[in-house]
Amino acid sequence: MNFNEFNLKKEILRRLEEIGFEKPSPIQEKAIPVILEGRDVVAQAQTGTGKTAAFGLPILSKMQKGEKALVITPTRELAIQVSEEIFRFGKYLGIHTATVYGGSSYARQIKHIENSEFIVATPGRLLDLLKSGRIDIAPKYVILDEADEMLDMGFLDDIKEIFKFVPSDRQTLLFSATMPAPIKELAKTILKNPEFITITKKQVTNENIKEYFYVIDENERKDALIRLIDYKNPSKSIVFCRTKKDVDDIADFLSGAGFDAKGLHGDMDQRRREEVIRGFKNDKIEILVATDVAARGLDVNNVTHVFNYHLPLDPESYVHRIGRTGRAGKEGMAISLVTPHEFRALSRIQKISKIVLKEIPTLEDVKSSEIQKIIEKLSTVEPNDKAISIVEELQNEYDLLTIATKFAHMLFNKEADGKEKIGKSINEAKRLIERSKKQNDRGGRNNRNRRYSGRNSRRGRR
């Protein structure tokens, strides 16, 4: 099946072709036709299965002039990600998106809401704006994204309150990776005769890809990247960064370290972009440094490694990134650098992948690995007549040990350097991850308790 079969607007189909969307994922294949019919939907699907496109594409295709859509997400990071995806899909429709979350200017967000068709918001800030009367919206479409995570974070009462402010004549979509009892109860109260869609797939990522993550401090990213490239010795790899500025910075950094590295991002003109892609495909560039958007639709064989310089904000991006390796039945490797600030994003990725915690090799490990690689390579080499004649000629001047030592030096001329140890040990990383989980659990309980106390105090005043 392909996207043309859904009869989406031609502007959307044109955009999907540009950004490399070819075949719909299972959740997209099942959800898009039902949403286009106007039905309410409860969809249970793991994060990373393409849910943003599953609800975004049909709603963009259905929207009439003057209509608005509201997407409610649990976190600021996910709100930004969804907003960017919707904006990207709606490029040729002239769609505007507003991202609404706490800690940012009220005035700017209110202005964006007034001028946008798609509003993507976190529950707390959205409810604040609605209850204070700063905004008055009547969305035709309302989507709850990652409903179970909003439950875990203590936002369920906020969600129920928000639905008092939206019209009853609406299409409502609820997406959740799991279906605990409170989410099922919520679905009964806010949806009308919904279609239930379940995509059961425990693991979304490719079995041929080995996935590892390394816990580091923020100031260790560049050192860690070089160390892992030296140790893994990829023949063709992609380094993914979040921003265009990071792409330029890391491409220059790797080039300065002696690698054939080039950047790829949206600000490059078409001629330069094609030149870089051609060089990468033809093995003239060994490391491509790219943003998610720039790498969409990039079809290159024999990519041995994918490096996530920053962990992507959502699992869907992670799945797309690492899918650049491990193709056509070949093995690939995906390596992610993770700081403690990225543990929440990591936990979402862990739900759909087999990503394993590892420790960054020491400098001594890298040196030993390089020596071992040379020894292994030597065992496979069959000397030819020319090689024999060179050694015979050199024997007139040097003994065999000296000749062998000089050749070994020529092979081993790019010795790794840097700090002996980079990043956290496995035990240190595990302790940090466990501590982060406990803090998040406490945060969710505190959110629930604050909201419960607030309701009681309001009842008391009445």
Instruction: Show Cβ contacts of residue 58 under 8 Å, excluding neighbours closer than 6 positions.
Output: 6, 8, 31, 32, 35, 36
Count Cβ atoms within 10 A of the Cβ of residue 383 and give its class: 0-12 exposed, 13-18 middle, 19 or more buried: exposed
Q: 363-380 and 221-232 helices cross at what angle (nearest 10)?
A: 20
| In the block, residue with structure tokens 């209509």 | 67
**135-185 pLDDT, tens digit each:** 999 999 999 998 988 988 889 999 999 999 999 999 999 998 888 899 999
For 146, the token pair is 């990652």
DSSP code for 135: -
Give every residue of the chain whose pLDDT is below 50, as ranges.
452, 455-462
Residue 329, pLDDT score: 72
Report which of 135, 119, 117 is spatially closest to residue 127, judged by C-alpha positions: 135
Q: Is 257 helix (H, G, I), strand (E, B) or coil?
A: coil
Residue 310, pLDDT score: 94
Secondary element (H or E) of residue 66:
none
| In the block, residue with structure tokens 């790797």 | 254
What span, in angstroms and rounded, lies between the C-alpha atoms of 263 and 246?
Answer: 9
Amino acid at 427: N
Residue 460, pLDDT score: 40
Fold observed for domain 3-199: Rossmann fold (3.40.50)
Report which of 427, 412, 310 is spatially closest to residue 371, judged by C-alpha positions: 412
What span, in angstroms and rounded, lies between the C-alpha atoms of 306 and 400?
Answer: 42
Secondary element (H or E) of residue 327:
none
Residue 374, pLDDT score: 66
For 373, the token pair is 């690689």
**47-71 pLDDT, tens digit each:** 667 889 999 999 999 999 999 999 9
Q: Is residue 43 within 8 Å of 54, Cβ to Cβ?
A: yes
Count Cβ atoms within 10 A of the Cβ of residue 416 and give its class: 0-12 exposed, 13-18 middle, 19 or more buried: middle
What span, in angstroms and rounded, lies between the C-alpha atoms of 426 and 21?
Answer: 38
Q: Is residue 306 within 8 Å of 321, Cβ to Cβ?
A: yes
Q: Is 242 helix (H, G, I), strand (E, B) or coil?
A: coil
For 193, the token pair is 């005769």
Task: Provide the whole-model pTM.
Answer: 0.60
Count the neighbouring beta carbons within 10 Å of the beta carbon of residue 104.
12
For 458, the token pair is 């309001």
Q: Do domains 3-199 and 209-360+421-436 have the same CATH topology?
A: yes
For 103, the token pair is 């800690």
Instruction: Show Cβ contacts of residue 160 under 8 Å, excluding neighbours closer than 6 positions.
Output: 186, 189
Q: Is residue 120 within 8 Å of 97, Cβ to Cβ?
A: yes
For 176, the token pair is 């959740």
Sorted by where each begins, the domain ranges of the chain are: 3-199, 209-360+421-436, 364-411
CATH number (1.10.3720.10, 3.20.20.70, 3.40.50.300, 2.30.30.30) of 209-360+421-436 reads 3.40.50.300
What span, in angstroms and rounded, lies between the C-alpha atoms of 40 and 141?
Answer: 10
Torsions phi, psi of 357, nearest 5? -75, 130
DSSP code for 267: T
What span, in angstroms and rounded, lies between the C-alpha atoms of 154 and 260?
Answer: 48
